[in-house]
Amino acid sequence: MVGRNACDARDNGEVSGTIFTQPSARELLFSRLIPAPVDTVWDAWSDLKHLHEWYGPSGFTATTSEFAFEPGGVWRLTMHGPDGTDYPTRIVFGTIELKKRIVYLNSWDLPGAPIDFTMTVTFAPEANGTRLSLQMTFASDAAMQTAVETYGVVNGSVEVFERLANHVQ
């Protein structure tokens, strides 16, 4: 995600159906109505065969070397950027509340990229689908600023929502 354009983190609003806010200097919050039932959206998040179809920004693919979707389980993956750059990632699942919430620690195994964050994913049924919310909480203000300015996590997250919505339709 190096070199990707990033939205200014102070510009709260709606982008491509995704609502973005910055509750604090260490948090980013994204929310979008996904036009699919909770069961379908949950499966897309919890089943590796689905994750590989949509996980990551536009143009990215992923390969997995380890996956255990359970509290304490690890998902070790490499995201492959459209420019050929690899982004090794380690996710450790913390809380998993069936079809309601997933909390995990996201670590990027890149030298000099101290931008680990905790992700909380919530699934809420609504009349026209599932309200999916992602809250990223960084260890420091500087880590979030690096993630936004250097790695483009705002635009990347919006693109992830778009890819997921397209996958479950």
Using one digit for the tens of pLDDT, what is the confidence trace for 42-65?
Answer: 999 999 999 999 999 999 999 999
Q: What is the pLDDT of residue 135?
A: 97
Asked if residues 95 and 103 have their Cβ atoms less than 8 Å apart, the reply is: yes
Asked whether the predicted pLDDT for residue 32 surpasses 60, the reply is yes
Structural domains in the chain (count): 1
**Dihedral angle at the C-alpha atoms of 90, 148, 94, 162, nearest 10 degrees?**
-90
For residue 160, report the phi and psi dihedrals to the nearest 5 degrees.
Answer: -60, -45
pLDDT tens-digit series, residues 109-143? 776 666 689 999 999 999 889 999 999 999 888 88
Say which residues have a Cβ less than 8 Å from residue 82's Cβ, sequence separation at least 6.
Answer: 58, 59, 60
Whether residue 99 is contained in a domain is answered as yes
Q: What is the pLDDT of residue 151?
A: 81
CA atoms within 13 A on the CB side of 137: 9
Average pLDDT of every residue of the chain: 87
**Stated pTM of the model:** 0.86
Q: In the chain, where does DSSP find H-type helix?
A: 38-46, 48-54, 141-149, 153-168
Whether residue 96 is contained in a domain is answered as yes
What range does the domain containing 109 cover? 83-128+146-169
Lowest mean pLDDT: which of 24-38, 122-136, 146-160?
Answer: 146-160
pLDDT tens-digit series, residues 83-104? 998 989 999 999 999 999 999 9
Asked if residues 104 and 91 have their Cβ atoms less than 8 Å apart, the reply is: yes
Q: What is the pLDDT of residue 146?
A: 84
Whether residue 77 is contained in a domain is answered as no
Report the share of the chain in percent with pLDDT over 70: 87
Whether residue 54 is contained in a domain is answered as no
Asked whether the predicted pLDDT for residue 28 surpasses 70, the reply is yes
